[in-house]
Amino acid sequence: GESVGLHLPTLSVQEGDNSIINCAYSNSASDYFIWYKQESGKGPQFIIDIRSNMDKRQGQRVTVLLNKTVKHLSLQIAATQPGDSAVYFCAEKSGSARQLTFGSGTQLTVLP
Amino acid sequence: GAVVSQHPSWVICKSGTSVKIECRSLDFQATTMFWYRQFPKQSLMLMATSNEGSKATYEQGVEKDKFLINHASLTLSTLTVTSAHPEDSSFYICSASSLSGSTDTQYFGPGTRLTVL
């Protein structure tokens, strides 16, 4: 069936470096994408979203890139900080559907 | 921003008992609430979609008679795990959504850790 998945299950970066977390999706009808951050024992926290009519969107220290041609989504975190350590999930939905489909998640660890 | 709370944050119960988890949208009216289950080191799996005033829609493989969902108001949904067993131990997370213009963002609660002995 349709799925949203991530390329890397774990990612370790040095504090201050930039992080890139990738996500592949298979549903060509997906038109809305969201990145969530989940810290241990907590619920997912909204980071940034992007609609399919855009290919880039920037927030505070974060940028989401969407490549619809290859069905790929990425989250870039600038100047990664220890507080960025968490599991990051991409999620997608299509059309009028209310339900989100979550990817498998990437554990980001920021090294001192 | 939109805030969603869950109660309790954690619960331990004996096998065979029932447990109720509450999900509240604190500063907005949620037309739809979603219930997820998350096992350790895994992703969120949608269990059911709940619209205020109507029956919940369950995902394939989720027993509706075991996981009772009530969404009686625009700010409260409850999930009752009936006759809980150890395999029901998990992290249960709700989210709330309010269609507003072109925005349909889900705001997540902090989760409820259920341990069934």
Residues counted in chain B: 117
User: CA-to-CA distance for A98 and A33, rounded, in angstroms?
Assistant: 12
Beta carbons of A98 and B49 less than 8 Å apart: yes
Give me the tens of pLDDT residue by residue for chain A, a chain 112 residues long: 344 554 448 999 999 999 999 999 989 999 999 999 999 999 999 999 999 999 999 999 999 999 999 999 999 999 999 999 999 999 999 887 888 999 989 999 999 9
Contacts of B12 (CB under 8 A, 6+ apart): B115, B116, B117
Q: According to the model, what pLDDT value does residue B99 have?
A: 66
Q: How far is B56 from chain A (nearest CA, A)?
A: 13
Distance from CA of B9 to the nearest CA of A (A): 10
Contact A98 B42 (CB under 8 A): no
Which B residues in the span 1-60 are in contact with A, Cβ-Cβ below 8 Å?
A: 4, 6, 32, 34, 42-46, 49
Tokens 């991530």: give the residue: A6
Could you tell me which of B110, B85, B107 has the C-alpha nearest to residue B28? B107
Torsion sign over Cα B12, A44, B31, B6: positive
Q: What pLDDT, on the 0 to 100 scale, is given for residue A7?
A: 46
- pLDDT of A83 reads 96
